[in-house]
Structure 1
Amino acid sequence: MSWQGALIRWYLRRRFLPATREPIDVARVRARTAKRVWSPRPPIDFRLHEQYAAADAPLRGEWLLRVAGAARTILYLHGGGYYFCSPKSHRTITFGLAPRAQADVFSLDYRLAPEHPFPAAHDDALAAYRQLLAEGRRAGSIVIAGDSAGGGLALATLVALRDAGDPLPAGALLYSPWTDLACTGASLRENDGHDPMFSADVFARVAPLYLGATRATHPWASPVYADLRGLPPLFMLAGSTEVLLDDTLRVAERARAAGVRVECEIGQGLPHVWPIYAPFAPEARRALDDSARFVRRVTATADEEGPQSSETSIAS
């Protein structure tokens, strides 16, 4: 592990982990996150276009657009336990992915719990993907991505799209996905005390905020329980000491058993959603490099078909 990675682990254990043992205060968590957001500048040859008005739904959020047009698109679903964070809090990931993959990135500002419990976020993700198709972006040129709760949401979106018979995207990036809101993974016990970021019990306290009256094993809320047959290729990563490690490992195992192509990287000692620490940590930069190679590979035919958009066509 790099010294940057070690420093991040130390900081998380000292500042973030204790807060996960406290009672959940939604307003306070959101306020803290908003204050701590650091926004990198849009990468060279890309333009940021924010569209956060209610009327912008189903594509409410923000575009990072390649000025010359892009042949591929990433639909990004941010993490935050379904109740906090936003596209702005995850720009280190989206701004890192876009130039590496030479892709337009749309980061969705989906509705948050507890004001909007399941299936609100799920419905928003489905609607956003379908709107991308309606606006002419080809399914085979789209990759859906997400981290933590957003990673679980991305996988659940794939399942729902398949169930509905929609054209599926070319693949999915899942960073430390939270796929089991019933909180049954063995790593919740085995890694409790080793995870520098979370106490294991926090997930059982957060899950009801999103679930509301929905059962925790509903496959569109907890896709580890879903039938994964027929899904496109998955790129997954998680840290070896995460309490949510099994949420990745069980999905990878079940997807492979169902015939899905899966790439799964386990970072030794790395924290939850470590790509978010780009460009500071070399491990984060490498994870984004690997992610971009996956995106380009599964959307290879998009290069032959040419750009689908330009920054002027979206902003107009």
Structure 2
Amino acid sequence: MSPAVAVDQATQTEASKQQVEKLLGLWHQHYADAASLNERRSAFERLMEEAPGPSRVQIRHVDAGGVDAELIWPARLHHPIGRRALLYVHGGGFYSGSPDTHRALAGSLAKATSADVLLIDYRLAPEYPYPAQIDDTLTAYGWLLDSGYENDNIVIVGDSTGGNLAIEAVLRQMQLKGPLPAAVIAMSPITDLSATDKRTETNEVGDPVLGILALDAASKRYLKGLSPKDPRVSPYYADMAGFPPLLVQVGTADALGDNALHFADKARVAGVDVTTQVWPGMVHQWQLFPFWLDDARKSNQSAADYAMRHFADKPKQ
């Protein structure tokens, strides 16, 4: 990983290593024969079907300004909290993923933050290339504002390509001079679609979840001829001045982790309040698997704590 950022978590335990190995075994099992786009979409859905569903939450399907979504909140309440919200943008290479794949994670964040979570089902590439995904994210954000949530009580969260979309949506909102969220949480974010960091190819050997070749294939479906270095799709090349507080989580085994850390460094230089967390031995998008990885549970709780610190309306502890 980048020497400019210290690893701020304890050394990976042997139990953690074994959990990651088991996860990667399941990943290979589902993706071994998945060559085409539709096969990889199905493989992701099947993998996540093995995960336990969310518990102790309530779920309501909503039309978020034309974007299909689920509103999720802690089950101890009969109705949504209506004051604090996470807008969750799922990962999946721009072409896969859905509320089905991310419902458990979104539900756990709802409980951990005592907030409502709006989990959006944005349009996917290649059927809908750029900018459909960012448009849908901003539409859902606007729906939250129109529904009575104050912008300083909204945190936008995304994993992998969802982290990319979360950041890019806020950059677009800045250009529009609209109200900004309280913070952004980017879990294993893809910040440079050109994947220019030389360490990427080295790290890819130990991280089959999303390496440079898979990123290149996914990006082409999303970009439809747009340059991968265009700041509208790769926040690494964007002007980040004025961006809200940002948490970036990466794992040391994430093939794309160095790209994200270098992006965080650039954002920090631009004056952004950036917090980076580097988790030993974690692969790309490990946060999605709290039911199999102890470190995912810990990192997700850390993300929840970060969100709660940035809500204007602090949840009661």
* TM-score (normalised: structure 2): 0.87
2:70 equivalent to 1:58: no
Deviation at 1:65, TM superposition (A): 2.4
2:15 equivalent to 1:7: no
User: Alignment partner of 1:146: what SS?
Assistant: strand
Q: Deviations over 1:287-314 (max 9, x none)?
A: 1111111111111x2149x9xxxxxxxx
User: Alignment partner of 1:31: what SS?
Assistant: helix
C-alpha separation in 1, matches of 2:239 and 2:64:
33
Gaps of 5+ in 2: 1-11
User: Alignment partner of 1:90: what SS?
Assistant: helix
Q: Deviations over 1:200-219 (max 9, x none)?
A: 32211221010012221221
What residue identity is the alignment partner of 2:225? A
2:292 equivalent to 1:284: no
Contact (CA 8 Å) 2:23, 2:292: kept in 1 or not?
Answer: no
Deviation at 1:2, TM superposition (A): 4.3
What residue identity is the alignment partner of 1:157? A
Alignment of 1:1-316 (within 5 A): 1-2=12-13, 5-14=16-25, 16=27, 24-38=35-49, 40-44=52-56, 46-51=57-62, 57-66=65-74, 67=77, 69-70=80-81, 71-299=83-311, 301-303=312-314
Gaps of 5+ in 1: 307-316
Task: Give the aligned CA root-mean-square deviation in angstroms.
Answer: 2.3
Deviation at 1:56, TM superposition (A): 5.6
Q: Deviations over 1:99-151 (max 9, x none)?
A: 11101000110000000000010111111111111121100000000000000
Deviation at 1:244, TM superposition (A): 0.4
Residue 89 and residue 189 in structure 1: after superposition, are their counterparts in 2 closer, same or farther (change >3 A)?
Answer: same
User: Alignment partner of 1:179: what SS?
Assistant: coil
User: Alignment partner of 1:132: what SS?
Assistant: helix
Q: Which structure exhibits the higher relative contact order, with contacts defined as CA atoms closer than 8 Å and separated by 6 or more residues?
A: 1
* TM-score (normalised: structure 1): 0.87
Contact (CA 8 Å) 2:193, 2:215: kept in 1 or not?
Answer: yes
Residue 21 and residue 187 in structure 1: after superposition, are their counterparts in 2 closer, same or farther (change >3 A)?
Answer: farther
What residue identity is the alignment partner of 2:69? G
C-alpha separation in 2, matches of 1:98 and 1:212:
35
Residue 169 and residue 56 in structure 1: after superposition, are their counterparts in 2 closer, same or farther (change >3 A)?
Answer: closer
C-alpha separation in 2, matches of 1:172 and 1:190:
29
Q: Deviations over 1:131-182 (max 9, x none)?
A: 1111211000000000000001101111111111010000011000011111
Residue 22 and residue 164 in structure 1: after superposition, are their counterparts in 2 closer, same or farther (change >3 A)?
Answer: farther
C-alpha separation in 2, matches of 1:266 and 1:141:
26
User: Alignment partner of 1:286: what SS?
Assistant: helix
Deviation at 1:183, TM superposition (A): 1.9
Residue 22 and residue 248 in structure 1: after superposition, are their counterparts in 2 closer, same or farther (change >3 A)?
Answer: farther
Contact (CA 8 Å) 1:21, 1:199: kept in 2 or not?
Answer: no
